[in-house]
Amino acid sequence: MNARGNAHTLVQARRRDSLDKRQRVHTALAALEQEGRKITHTAVARTAGVSTWLTYTEGIREHVEAAQQRQRQRVSQPVPARDPNAALRPELELARQEIRGLREERDQMRQALRHQLGQQLDALSTTVLTGRVDELMSNNQRLADQLRQATDENTALNARVASLDQDLAAARTSLRRMIRNENTAR
């Protein structure tokens, strides 16, 4: 697919996303009116799950303002006394839902990060351990060669010592004979 096709696909996806968000705003407006909750740009945005700036854009702002106007007309009629915090409860519930969602997302990200770090540590440990094993095997081979060389040298030196011991014993025996012969000749 060429770049122009990709761009066209991206534009189409963006357009569908924009239409979906606008439809969610209209649905949220209808729900807020139906429930009798106070209509504000923030309340509409939270209910629809979109950003507040979208509720101020042309084509949406008019609908929000019309809903606010209808709500003001209804409010102008006497309403039985209500709990002053009742208007805040939906906002609070929306905030709690948003916090729950953010916590779940945070936990998922933490778990993914732990998994990724574990894999990196495993890879690092394997690499380090493999290097260490290679180093130890090299040292072991070097020491085995040195031991073999030292053993060969030791064997040669022991043979030399044995030969020198024999020569020394022969020289002593010869010296004793010479001394005995010298003493008997006098």
State both tokens at 180: 């005995």
Q: Are residues 70 and 101 in the same domain?
A: no
The residue behind tokens 């969610």 is 24
- Alpha carbon 10 to its chain's center: 30
Domain assignment present for 68: yes
Is the pLDDT score of 81 beyond 80? no
Q: Are residues 71 and 4 in the same domain?
A: yes
Cβ pair 64, 39 in contact under 8 A: yes
Cβ pair 57, 90 in contact under 8 A: no
Domain assignment present for 89: no
Within 13 Å of residue 128, how many CA atoms lie on the same side as its CB? Answer: 6
State both tokens at 67: 């809903």
Residue 37: which pLDDT band, with cuts at 50, 70 and 90? confident
Domain assignment present for 18: yes
Domain assignment present for 173: no
Domain assignment present for 30: yes
Is the pLDDT score of 84 beyond 90? no
- What's the chain's average pLDDT? 87
Summarize pLDDT for 38-80 with one digit per residue, the tens. Answer: 889 999 999 999 988 888 888 889 989 998 888 888 766 555 5
Domain assignment present for 51: yes
Total structural domains within the chain: 2
Q: Are residues 62 and 102 in the same domain?
A: no
State both tokens at 55: 């509720």
Domain assignment present for 169: no
Domain assignment present for 122: yes
Summarize pLDDT for 112-129 with one digit per residue, the tens. Answer: 999 998 888 777 777 777
Cβ pair 31, 81 in contact under 8 A: no
CA separation for the pair 151, 12 (Å, rounded): 82
Please compute the mean of the pLDDT values over residues 138-161 and round it to a whole number. Answer: 96
Residue 7: domain span: 1-76
